[in-house]
Chains A and B, each alone.
Chain A
Amino acid sequence: MKGTATVVFNNGSSSTFQFPAQKCKKNGNKYTYDYKDADAAFALNNVAHIPEFTIKWDIKYEETGTWSYLADSKVPMYVTHKEPVLLTRPEHREPTKVYLTLLDIGCRNANGSSSEQLIVDQIFVKFESRDIRRVDGVGPIKYWGDPAVGGTAPACWQPSQMLKTLDGVCGGWAPFFENVLCIQGITSSKIVIPNWDFKLTNTQLNALMADFEAYFGQGSWNPAFPVTTDDVSAGPVAYFYIENWALSANVKFVVNDILNVVNGNPLWEPLTDMGIIPIAEGNGVSGQGNSDPRSEFSDHGFVEYNSRVYDPSYGESFESRDEWEASAVAGMGAILSLTLQDDSGNNRMLFINWVSVIEDSNIPGELKFD
């Protein structure tokens, strides 16, 4: 018994693999062709996705001494750039594991490429579609698909769980993209975390209170900072706002899109400005599977490779950190809660944004990058 497999690659080249003739074993209706070296190999470092690696089998019966076609055997095949690196990378919450979808995204999109930069760019094209699905077609996996639980659910930070829950935050999407690269043996990327220093300084806090009194009137209101799950031990959290927002220098407080709380119960409903505070948060920059994801954060996570920014959460890439900041960030400030009584007598708690700084694309580095 002997076999022949011919593979045509994306670049038009082809390779033929010969499985040499050897006696096969027959056990009832089962024929076995044992381990045997073929006479060729795939090109070194060349990524390949072969939906059907087809081996044409021929058989020669001792009675006749002539070869004749037997059948084809077919199997899907993935060839990675290098040996996968399966470690827990920095800012990951689990080791990289070769899930079929992660392998498929890498090999399918970088099919035919051997240059590492080209492989990274071709894989990211898939993320730019903002339509990342499992191999079984289920999806898309969303970015902040459920804003009520996204930041607190551990599953949203782990690619292994994102494949199951179909939801992830930036702390999940950045490792998700890096895992696809690690499976291709590419490990020179890193996760970068932009932030506005996480916590307001005393100077910033004083500025906030001064703005508050100027806006609402001295002693009229008693704002509070909302409970946050972010990793800040104490004190008001410093936030930044991801586009799209309609901010202006003379409006220091706007309504954001977290949620309303009515009589102590979280309530998802169209935001109200109560006739006092403008709603400045518009439909956001589209994220993975979500045209209007959450847009205020104490930090973010994107992937940097070869000094270029790849932001898998939003499916966009940038020449530099400064270009990312100028394009993605609307401003910086803090989030407060403000309780008002509406016309029906309900105590309605609004989350409002203090706008301390409006992002100026001419001033690079207004955010920190850890």
Chain B
Amino acid sequence: MKTLLESRLSATLLFVFCAFTTHAQRNGANFDCPACLKEVHFGGSKGNNYITIYDDLTDAKILPPQYVSDCESGGGGVKTNLLLMSVGVSPK
């Protein structure tokens, strides 16, 4: 059975690994990351206004993490800019 310290070290290593593999995920590699930023967007509700990015060479959608759009407030019932995010979601 792991001690608490061992568990913490294990988690730390996993998160550091994630930081180094972000670019692999951007390029669509098969990647199961424990802490990747999947979606960040502002000024709207979850999932409706992040931008889909395409790869220059393949035209393929670049898998999460996605990039953000700064939506105008006041134009669609949007009252506040929100930052939404998720971690731990594998790209599909």
Contact = CB atoms under 8 A, between A and B. Distances in A.
Interface of A: 17, 19, 25, 29-46, 53, 55, 57, 59, 61, 63-64, 68, 70-84, 97-101, 103, 134-136, 160, 163-164
A5 to B, nearest CB: 9
Nearest to B46: A35
A38 B70 contact: no
B65 to A, nearest CB: 4
Contacts of A33: 35, 85-88
Secondary structure call for the A interface: mixed
A84 B70 contact: no
Nearest to B59: A160
B63 interface: no
Contact of A44 (B22, B40, B72): B72
A78 B15 CA distance: 22
Given A31-B14, A72-B16, A98-B52, 20 more contacts: A29-B10, A30-B34, A32-B34, A33-B86, A33-B87, A35-B85, A36-B84, A41-B42, A43-B70, A57-B15, A61-B4, A61-B7, A72-B15, A73-B35, A75-B22, A78-B67, A80-B69, A100-B62, A101-B56, A103-B53
Contacts of B12: 70-71
B29 interface: no
A99 B56 contact: yes
Given A79-B70, A84-B69, A100 B19 contact: no
B25 to A, nearest CB: 9
24 contacts: A29-B10, A30-B34, A32-B89, A33-B87, A33-B88, A41-B43, A41-B80, A55-B37, A55-B85, A57-B35, A59-B8, A70-B15, A71-B35, A72-B19, A73-B18, A74-B19, A75-B37, A75-B40, A76-B67, A77-B40, A80-B68, A80-B69, A82-B72, A100-B56
A363 B71 CA distance: 46
Interface in B30-67: 32, 34-37, 39-40, 42-43, 46, 49, 51-57, 59, 62, 65, 67
B9 to A, nearest CB: 10
Contacts of A84: 51, 69
Contacts of A75: 22, 36-37, 40, 65
